[in-house]
Structure 1
């Protein structure tokens, strides 16, 4: 019985600590390195266009939670002006 409780607690903590974004886009030195998830075509196109004009390195993650349709998380490597441009083109209505 104790083993079952210990294993279930470990599984619960592992489940809570694993980073699980629904969308992951990585840029490095002005190039799209990888993309994961079902990305709206317009959002990906706009991110690539922003990256052409002002090249940056970093990651863009989108999380889904119970209260908000989608939460956009940008890495700190991305300049604040570029972050704002990405937030402006983010399609919040696509994730409802």
Structure 2
């Protein structure tokens, strides 16, 4: 099951993207998600419909991964991407 097929809204998809990116850097979070996905999803304000199976976290990307901390009130526009996966994480 993928995020596209379980009816999540934009906020839930973004939250799952944040969870995915953090799990790539934190093996403990990935293991917790594998053991108790509903609990971890709830931490990101994601609720599954009754009977819905939690999606599997995507594997870490192969190749180069760059993480930038953006500060200030206005973030620069993202660079043009070809064949890359970009996540924006808000630090609060």
TM-score in same-fold range (> 0.5) = no
Higher helix share: 1
The structure having more radius of gyration, on CA atoms, is: 1
Q: Which has the higher contact order (CA 8 A, sep 6+)?
A: 2
Higher strand share: 1
- Report the TM-score range of the alignment, normalised by the length of the smaller protein: under 0.3
